[in-house]
């Protein structure tokens, strides 16, 4: 079991800055959160935390919001057990249910069963929810799919369940890779899972690319995604706040991508583009 730090962030005003702060904290290693009335509790492995990285986050420089924080060490916590206590099923449009093995099945719904470990992508975050919404209306039959920043691989699993052919899932985090392998087996699907980044991509081509990461990585990596996307292929992007959209679309236009559909949930946005 890992030693964790618990951070208590007081945020004023709370909205929309709590969601934005969580997105920025994920980038520097925070991996779980609890929302409070006046802020959020954030958790990070002690040996991964660098306070200098925290203090230079963009939101701490933003004059529209005031953020104060304190923290304490929380040693020897069984985090898998904690996640199980707080993990509830996610119902997406009464069509897709993301649940754990210890939840009851719901007749008539498409189900994705995951073990809610520390990997990002349980479905509770609005961006995962939006990606699933977009994927509902896409034909995955026999398509070659890439899931970048796969987290739990819930998106890759759903693509495979919808009839995709080969599906590759990549994440920079070793924990996510191991969790993805377990979740693929749990859902009876075969995925090609590896640890890495967009630098891992060679000359293989894909029909559909799923990337639920964050603004900065997407801006950097969209040209690489486009280079391995077949003509007529689809690119789904999320991990974005509404104010990120113009910058993302500028990069997409430069890469000759056409925006087909945009969904928003709270402050978060998901874009469907086509090459």
Annotated binding residues for S-adenosyl-L-methionine: 128, 149, 171, 212
- Say which residues have a Cβ less than 8 Å from residue 107's Cβ, sequence separation at least 6: none
What are the distances in angstroms from CA 105 to CA 63, 68, 112, 116, 155? 47, 42, 10, 16, 19
Q: Which two tokens stand for residue 134?
A: 């977009």
The CA distance from 13 to 35, in Å, is 14
Q: Which two tokens stand for residue 39?
A: 């802020």
66-74 and 4-12: which strand pairing?
antiparallel
96-99 and 268-274: which strand pairing?
unpaired
Distance, first Cα to last Cα, the chain = 45
Q: Which two tokens stand for residue 185?
A: 């087996």
Annotation: binding site: 128, 149, 171, 212
Q: Which two tokens stand for residue 239?
A: 């991990």
What are the distances in angstroms from CA 83 to CA 24, 148, 222? 21, 24, 33
The CA distance from 108 to 113, in Å, is 15
Q: Which two tokens stand for residue 253?
A: 């236009």
In the numeric block, the tokens 């859902």 are attached to 187
Say if residues 144 and 207 touch (Cβ distance below 8 Å).
yes
Cβ atoms < 10 Å from Cβ of 149: 25
The CA distance from 218 to 123, in Å, is 20
């Amino acid at each position: 079991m890992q030693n964790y730090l618990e951070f208590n962030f007081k945020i004023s005003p709370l909205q929309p800055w709590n969601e934005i702060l969580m997105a920025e904290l994920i980038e520097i290693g925070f991996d779980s959160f609890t929302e409070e009335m006046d802020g959020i509790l954030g958790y990070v492995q002690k040996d991964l935390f660098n306070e200098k990285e925290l203090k230079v986050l963009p939101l701490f420089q933003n004059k529209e919001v005031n953020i104060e924080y304190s923290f304490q060490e929380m040693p020897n916590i069984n985090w898998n057990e904690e996640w199980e206590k707080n993990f509830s099923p996610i119902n997406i449009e009464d069509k897709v249910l993301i649940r754990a093995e210890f939840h009851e099945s719901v007749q008539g719904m498409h189900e994705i069963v995951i073990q809610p470990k520390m990997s990002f992508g349980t479905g509770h975050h609005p961006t995962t929810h939006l990606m699933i919404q977009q994927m509902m209306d896409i034909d995955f039959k026999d398509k070659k799919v890439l899931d970048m920043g796969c987290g739990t691989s819930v998106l890759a699993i759903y693509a495979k369940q919808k009839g995709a052919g080969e599906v590759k899932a990549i994440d920079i985090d070793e924990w996510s890779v191991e969790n993805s392998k377990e979740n693929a087996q749990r859902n009876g699907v075969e995925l090609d899972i590896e640890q890495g980044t967009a630098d891992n991509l060679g000359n293989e081509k894909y029909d559909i690319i799923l990337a639920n990461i964050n603004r900065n990585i997407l801006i950097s990596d969209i040209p690489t995604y486009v280079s391995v996307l077949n003509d007529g292929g689809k690119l789904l992007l999320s991990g974005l706040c509404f104010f990120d959209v113009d910058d993302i679309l500028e990069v997409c236009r430069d890469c000759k991508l056409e925006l087909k559909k945009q969904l928003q949930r709270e402050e978060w946005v998901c874009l469907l583009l086509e090459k």
